[in-house]
Amino acid sequence: MRSVVQRVKRASVTVDGKIVGEISNGLLVLLAVGQEDSAGDMNWMVEKLVGLRIFEDEEGKMNRSVQDVGGEILMVSQFTLYGDCRKGKRPSFITAAQPEKAKLLFEKIVDDIRQRGLKVETGVFQAEMDVALINHGPVTILLDSEKKF
């Protein structure tokens, strides 16, 4: 499971000209599910997202999580994070999970984070989406449950 996590002042996702998800201070998470991902990968990702200390404390150090600051999360499914460009110029997506599995794990992650009391907005699975954000910092973190980076 892979994600790109951005600390944002605000973010939104639009489908067919209509805003379907919008947050203020918090995290924009672009999330991809891989073929081999399991409940263990999902739990690892939830723990990382909720506990990732990338918000500043009173001394200006990145020492607080989205949960600590009462932030919100905008989750957007993005299978292209599994694009492999090592050969040729056209990405291969063969290691990305099939849509049925990806949707199931994506929705479970959203539910698990909501159960921790955080506001979570989402895009629309498999839709063409426009994502807008103001990256605060900028702070952008890459996460991979296989710990490849």
Domain with residue 31: its CATH number is 3.50.80.10
Domain count, the chain: 1
Tokens of 29: 């998470």
pLDDT for residue 147: 85
- pLDDT reported for residue 116: 96
pLDDT at 72 exceeding the cut of 90: yes
| Structure confidence at residue 63 (pLDDT) | 97
Contact indicator for 130, 32 with CB cutoff of 8 Å? no
79-113: per-residue pLDDT in tens? 999 999 999 999 999 999 999 999 999 999 999 99
* Count of CB atoms situated within 10 Å of the CB of 118: 20
The model's confidence at residue 2, banded by pLDDT at 50, 70 and 90, is: very high
Q: Is residue 78 part of a domain?
A: yes
Residue 149 maps to a domain: no
Mean pLDDT over residues 3-17, rounded? 98
Q: If you average pLDDT over every residue of the chain, what do you get?
A: 97
Residue 82 in domain: yes
Flag whether 111 is in a domain: yes
Confidence at 148, pLDDT banded by 50, 70, 90: confident
Sign (positive or negative) of CA dihedral 34, 35, 41, 42: positive
Query: Alpha-carbon distance 34 to 26, whole Å?
Result: 25
Global pTM value: 0.96
Domain that holds residue 12: 2-144
* Residues with catalytic roles: 78-80
Angle between helices 39-51 and 99-115 (to 10 degrees): 40
